[in-house]
Amino acid sequence: MTSTFFGLELSQRALNSQQLALDVTGNNISNANTAGYTRQTPILAASTPYTILGSGKNLSLGTGTDLNTITRARDAFVDSQFRSETSKQQYWGAKEDSLNNIQNILNEPSDNSLSDDMSQFWTAWSDLSNDPENEGARSVVSERAQELTDTFHNLSQQVTDQQNDLNSSINVQITQINTYAQQIGELNAQIKSAEVAGDNPNDLKDQRDSLVDELSQIVNVKVVESKDTNFTDRTVNNYKIIIGNDSSTANTLVDGTTVRTLEDPPPQDSTTGFSQVVWSDDTTGSSVDLGTNLGTLEADLEVRDSYLPSFQGQLDTLAQAIATSINAIHRTGQGLVAATQTDPLDSTKTIGIDFFTSSSGGTDSTTGLPVVTAATINLNPDIADQPDKIATGALTSIITAGDGTIAQKISSLSTGWNALNGLIAAPVSGTSLGNYYSANVAKLGVDVQQATRMKAGEDVLVTNAANQRESISGVSLDEEMTNLIQYQKSYAAAARMVTMMDNMLDSILNMGMTK
């Protein structure tokens, strides 16, 4: 036998449930434009039935509805796809930015570039070969040589500066990873505590997902969520994050409330002095496996440790090739003023002076020629002080009749290696010094185009993944308005039921009073 007020209790549950559903819908509407918010759905379930005796047997009588839980509209697979594509997008975006910076350093083609300085340098030698006794032409060669060495110095310094900038960026990203890890670990503790108590803390989960999204821009992220088998009567999850190469459990960043951090400040490489990415608890000092082409951290490390050193090496090789080839020819001649030196390989021989020298003072043990880099190549101070010492003719005698054979040979280096026959082998690959440099510039252009193309492709994939996630997790105002009307009508119906039950009880009471 049910209570006299059974109908009112049933109606009251309906009113409460529909009111709560309306509150959830209102919360969705108010957060329609909130970044990181996930649409929530009220799950209504029939309440525990009431057992009554009827017709000699037990019957189950429904007792209405209750708000069972409030769920988030999330799809773990779509989230994983979005984060994976985000890591790739950010990698190519960071690499594109760095390579564009290198292009800006070279500033090719323009009137203020290394190729232009080289062109003017060769032209100055050509002009001098036509009039070797011209003081003005000699000064121009000296000035063009100084400009060329200054450009090499500037390029080398800018490469170093960019490496230092990337190193600073890497340090910041290491700190960010540790900060995200700490915050996610704290949220894991709060979420698990709420789940143990039977709650479903959707807002805390949204905060955690937003942090993971941010983390996926820096490194590749894999989320592993599993049921906690210690709880069988409720849903309690374990939440783990693996970064970088996600096939290795050694890259676990967060496991529940256990947080593993990267060493910060990071250790410095003994050779380069740059920061290394290592786990703070790894006594071997091995670098973290960040995977391939994933995240801004990997892009910055790749450009800093591989691309820029390779680019610097190309500049050094070009500077060395220019100095080696010109010095080899310059040693076979002299200028208007006698200028000789003892052959470094044979003290009994006298040769012409070097046109280029090295600020480091090193010489090649095989050729005796100065060993230079882009940072150390310099015009011989003797020539800078007295351009008359620029060798333009044969070493046999001081020029008196306009001998320009040496200057002509040096000028011809702009187009080939014939002038080096019998002296040294071609110092670099390619048909000429200009050809070698042009090939390296062209390769840089190809690399920039590849990064730009890959970035554009990933932009499309990230947009598609974001749209797919938005279609699942985002708030649709049209849909919420429909739900609002649905719950409002159900609430009105429940209220009408209260009125009806009130009338029934009033009739019973009035009938009793009449009797």
Q: What is the pLDDT of residues 313-351, one digit of tens each?
A: 999 999 999 999 999 999 999 888 888 888 888 888 888
Domain locations along the chain:
6-73+474-514, 114-157+309-441
Distance separating alpha carbons of residues 482 and 233, to the nearest angstrom: 34
Q: Extract the tokens encoding 107.
A: 């500033």
Residue 145 has pLDDT above 90, yes or no: yes
Each residue's pLDDT tens digit, 162-189: 999 999 999 999 999 999 999 999 999 9
Please, what is the average pLDDT of the chain? Answer: 90
Checking if the pLDDT of 502 tops 80, the result is: no
Stretch 357-386: mean pLDDT: 91
| Contact criterion met (CB below 8 Å) for 226 and 233 | no
pLDDT at 47 exceeding the cut of 80: yes
Residue 164 and residue 303: Cα distance in Å, rounded?
11
Detail the DSSP E strand segments found in 385-490. 393-394
**CB distance 230 to 268 below 8 Å:** no
pLDDT (0 to 100) of residue 343: 84
Per-position DSSP letters for 392-442, written without gaps between them = -EETTS---S---HHHHHHHHTTT-SGGGTTT---SSSSSSHHHHHHHHHH
Residue length of the chain: 515
Structure tokens at 127: 């002009």
Nearest-10 crossing angle of helices 477-514, 6-30: 160
Q: Is 347 helix (H, G, I), strand (E, B) or coil?
A: strand
Report yes or no: 64 and 13 within 8 Å, Cβ to Cβ.
yes
Give me the DSSP letters along 462-477.
Answer: HHHHHHHHHHHHSPPH
Measured CA to CA, the distance from residue 139 to residue 438 in angstroms comes to 28
Q: 158: burial class by Cβ within 10 Å (0-12, 13-18, 19+)?
A: middle
Instruction: Pick the closest to residue 484 from 20, 13, 22, 11 (CA basis).
Output: 22
**Tens-place pLDDT, residues 2-40:** 666 777 888 888 899 999 999 999 999 999 999 999 999
- Write the DSSP symbol of residue 419: G
Residue 308 to residues 154, 285, 436, Cα–Cα distance (Å):
15, 24, 18
pTM score over 0.75 = yes
Q: Comparing 215 with 226, which gets the higher pLDDT? A: 215
Mean pLDDT for 437-443 is 92
CA–CA distance, 271 with 133 (Å, rounded to integer): 49
> What is the phi/psi pair of residue 5, to 5°?
-100, 15
Residue 430 has pLDDT above 70, yes or no: yes
Give me the sign of the Cα torsion angle 163, 167, 168, 170.
positive
Mean pLDDT of 438-464: 95
Q: Indicate if the pLDDT at residue 402 is higher than 80.
A: no
How confident is the model over 228-267, as pLDDT tens digits? 888 888 888 899 999 998 777 789 999 999 999 999 999 9
User: With 60 as the cut, is the pLDDT of residue 282 above it?
Assistant: yes
For residues 287-307, average pLDDT: 93
CA distance readout (Å), 192 to 189, 227, 239, 470, 480: 5, 11, 9, 26, 29
Q: Averaged over 117-138, what is the pLDDT?
A: 93
The span from the CA of 312 to the CA of 374, in Å, is: 8
**pLDDT score of 401:** 53
pLDDT at 475: 93
Q: Are the C-beta atoms of residues 177 and 219 closer than 8 Å to each other?
A: yes
Residue 61 has pLDDT above 90, yes or no: no
**Over residues 144-172, mean pLDDT:** 96
Integer angstrom CA distances of residue 64 from 45, 482, 494: 9, 23, 10
* Alpha-carbon torsion, ordered 389, 395, 400, 405, to 10 deg: -90
Q: Which two tokens stand for residue 395?
A: 């070493």
What pLDDT is stored for residue 498 in this prediction? 81
Radius of gyration over alpha carbons of the chain, in Å? 39
Q: Tokens 């900038």, residue?
A: 165
* Chain centroid to CA 419: 47
377 — pLDDT class (breaks 50, 70, 90): very high
Percent of the chain with pLDDT over 90: 66
SS3 label, residue 291: coil
pLDDT band per the 50, 70, 90 thresholds, residue 115: very high
